[in-house]
Structure 1
Amino acid sequence: MDRHIGDMDRHMVVEVEIGSLSTADSPRTSGVDPEHVQALAVVQTPLPPITVHRPTMRVIDGLHRLRAAELQGRTKIPVRYFDGAADDAFVLAVESNVTHGLPLTTADRKRAAARIIASHPQWSDRMIASVSGIAPGTVADLRRRAPGGRAGEESRIGHDGRVRPINGAEGRRLASELIAQNPALSLRQVARVAAISPETVRDVRNRMMRGEDPVPRRGRQADREDTVAPRVGRPSAVPDRDAAQDRAAAVKRLKADPALRFSEIGRTLLRLLNLHTISMEEWDRIIDQVPPHCRGVVAYLAAESAERWTEVAMRVQSKVAETA
């Protein structure tokens, strides 16, 4: 929530009359969860202050804490004020309810993302995804289906705060020239000069190593900052069976490699990879047993983990190309 810090004093807390507060315009369309309110109402230690949009006195974060205070018969509640614009207040409400407390449902997060696309069209898919707790690809799909789509857009603000062009073809070409002239330049050095993301620079470098055009064919959309990792081919040592068996066989072979077995880093890698050898049937049983109130957070963490593994795949694959 760093983008909002300038609009909120995190150290100033004031007592505010509950009757003066508004609960309108919440991203939680289903309203409060009575069981969660009851659970908060019996907590003996003081709960964190709620966040309120000062210009409208609307509750941004802490609706359940507000209802719990009412249930306790209190007339005042500790408040931190946010002084930004109404659209930014909604963004903060979504972000707050994704990162802690009772998570928003998937439907609420998608609705919130669609609204943020409309109010902050200059934000990148990845930036909106980080706020709303859904995947960047889902944000991209919502943006395509929104009225007007991508019409008139030339650049967006990325997750790192930098402004980059949507069509990164020229940036990719410049990056390829810089890499060819000086292969020792870091991804970030090239990214700064070419005005594209480091992930896109990595994709350009990988394409060059494979002898491909640094600018992908139209429609693959890899020139956006939400670059998708190239598909990593199946190693020849892995037999052609179903996916779970493939993974298990590959991990088993890695476990037999002394270079991994007898190093701490290697054993850590093996433990991580071993988590992904279970079958889809086992995953189905796990998914079915996720408690309803945890599903939003689990989905968010699974999507984040998928992105991290995609990044790992890209980086390892680039090293494969380097040694080929």
Structure 2
Amino acid sequence: MREGQDPGPCAAPDDEVVHLPVAELVIEGSPRASGEDQEHVRSLAAVEQQLPPIIVHRATMRVIDGAHRVRAARLSEKKHIRACYFDGSAEDAFVLAVQANVRHGLPLSLKDRISAAERILVTHPQWSDRMISTAAGISARTAAEIRRRSAEPEPSGVRIGQDGRARPVDAARRRSLATALLTENPDLSLRQVAQVVGVSPETVRAVRNRLLYGRRPPPVRSPKRQRQEVGWAPEEQDAAVRRLASDPAVRQTDAGRVLLRVLRTQAMTAEEWQKIVDNVPLHCAPLVEQAARESARMWAEVAARVARNSSLAE
């Protein structure tokens, strides 16, 4: 695996750099719906320094990463280009192409990243939402929503995380089964219960410890309720802002008025947010994405601090 690549279930390209004939390379199946940016191709063709090697799927000679560099090489009438081979499947080659275009070069648009996530979910349904979100450059919440809309069946009742470990999708239900087994048969070993229920012995140990201290496992929630708790609907957000505005402790202080002003600017419907997303100029997309991610990070920090202050006051 080359430096800078994240570990994951997919294989990595070879470290060996070879020189491949430009004429034999295939440029198709890119995650970029609009194709290559010709201005970017011309700018690469004018670069005098040696560009990084492209990545090529050995079985098909399809360019996985570096289509712009290949177009630039053809524009400059170069016969060969530096490359590294990838020997994985066509499905893994697409994932690698998405990861490469998310990390560097001309970034993929949000629309392209969501389309890529939808395709990865079909070819890699066993991957966790966070694994898919990391590969496609979207949030885990968006990946979960894509999975919910697709109604793709769980291949084996487990999902593979970024650490390569398989975890059951219905973990809460399995812990409840382990609780029932240990309650009825306290002499069963951890390994026996784990084998029957389909969890790790360490999970069974945690369940047994809860029973020893008189604590029951958390109730199993339905998927519908879990989805409802992922985030507020816009009307709930609007109602929360109105309640804050009616509270004198907020409305009659400088800091409270600033808070209300900021919250009101962000209390928009999903359609209004989508209209903003659809009208971001392509050349501004990286800056808008960076600003949005930083804003999200700051709000997450604010939420954590407010929750911490609230818990200290109880």
Would the TM-score normalized by the shorter structure come out above 0.5?
yes
Contact 2:25–2:61 (Cα < 8 Å) also in 1 = yes
In 1, the alpha carbon distance for the partners of 2:305 and 2:171 equals: 21
Distance 1:121 1:108, change over 3 A: same
Residue in 2 that maps onto 1:2 = 7
Identical-residue share of aligned pairs (%): 43
**Match for 1:17 among 17, 21, 32?**
21
Residue in 2 that maps onto 1:183 = none
Return the TM-score normalized by structure 1: 0.64
Contact 2:27–2:63 (Cα < 8 Å) also in 1 = yes
Is 1:54 equivalent to 2:54 in the alignment?
no
Residue in 2 that maps onto 1:91 = 95
SS in 1 for 2:8: helix
Residue in 1 that maps onto 2:168 = 165
In 2, the alpha carbon distance for the partners of 1:312 and 1:172 equals: 34
Tell me, which stretches of 5 or more residues in structure 2 are unaligned? 1-5, 180-199, 205-215
In 1, the alpha carbon distance for the partners of 2:61 and 2:10 equals: 18
In 1, the alpha carbon distance for the partners of 2:252 and 2:64 equals: 48
Tell me, which stretches of 5 or more residues in structure 1 are unaligned? 177-190, 196-211, 253-273
Give 1:85 shift.
1.4
Distance 1:4 1:76, change over 3 A: farther
In 1, the alpha carbon distance for the partners of 2:30 and 2:164 equals: 26
SS in 2 for 1:215: coil
In 2, the alpha carbon distance for the partners of 1:106 and 1:75 equals: 34
Contact 2:173–2:220 (Cα < 8 Å) also in 1 = no
Contact 1:106–1:296 (Cα < 8 Å) also in 2 = no
In 1, the alpha carbon distance for the partners of 2:277 and 2:217 equals: 41
Distance 1:289 1:229, change over 3 A: closer
Give 1:306 shift.
2.8
Q: Which moved more, 1:40-49 or 1:93-102?
A: 40-49
In 2, the alpha carbon distance for the partners of 1:32 and 1:66 equals: 10
SS in 2 for 1:77: strand
Q: Which moved more, 1:41-50 or 1:290-299?
A: 290-299
CA deviation digits over 1:261-309, x for unaligned, max 9? Answer: xxxxxxxxxxxxx9x958728x99x989964223156337735763675
SS in 1 for 2:96: helix
**1:130 partner letter:** T
Residue in 1 that maps onto 2:255 = 249
Distance 1:100 1:245, change over 3 A: farther
Residue in 1 that maps onto 2:153 = 150
**Match for 2:49 among 32, 36, 45?**
45
In 1, the alpha carbon distance for the partners of 2:310 and 2:161 equals: 29
Distance 1:320 1:280, change over 3 A: closer
Q: CA RMSD in A?
A: 4.5
Distance 1:248 1:122, change over 3 A: farther
Matches within 5 A, 1:208-223: 214-215=218-219, 217-218=221-222, 219-221=224-226
Larger Rg: 2
**Match for 1:114 among 107, 111, 118?**
118
- The number of aligned residues is 262
Return the TM-score normalized by structure 2: 0.66
Is 1:77 equivalent to 2:81 in the alignment?
yes
**1:280 partner letter:** T
In 2, the alpha carbon distance for the partners of 1:247 and 1:9 equals: 61
Residue in 1 that maps onto 2:194 = none
SS in 2 for 1:130: helix
